[in-house]
Structure 1
């Protein structure tokens, strides 16, 4: 199972990490990924991506930085990334989207089974796995509020 680890002092990031971990442990999350249409940035099918992600045993370390002019996140390595405290949303669902999106990028950078760079694609296109998976996580996060 993929697990996000954050030991910082930001309450909003801690809450988003906790919610993201709940989603990453949820079978519904992987069922939603498996039902996606074919994405343009990989040759793997959606069910294959869902299976790989569900069976991946990886701890992703999340650290923070503060820069009012910097990006929302920075990829540090395949084992973690940095989150800009100034730029990440304080709305949990939006922050979960960002955290899950960056987690998929980190796992994809391992050069293992998930290679998200095999096919040429436009970075602005919405039909790519990290973006779509982040949106799924955001939707699930919002739905839980009303359940």
Structure 2
């Protein structure tokens, strides 16, 4: 069973550099999430996954992007903590010359999780002019 939903982000991406105190001119522009709930094995409890994909347009100085973490908290309902480990991640699927980027990560949600509304944030890093820069993607709501 697959359901795919496009959720626009409410805020533009923000970033902080961990390698220097100078502001960097790079930012991920017009980002948005897609997410897909995938029941990988209906016979096994805890095998429902959520795949989050971050889409955006990158500054030409960016060489590589990868998601490093997922964070979430409960907005409404009887939520339980989501597994915020990045179980599967890949480098950006992108054409850096055109500036387009899509990054997918997978995390699992327990099948016994009650319905609720979660706020989710993807944390990612990029290589900008040979410097690793930490980014915090703007938050989006996720309904379980």
TM-score using structure 2 length: 0.36
Larger Rg: 2
Which structure has greater helix proportion? 1
Which structure has greater strand proportion? 2
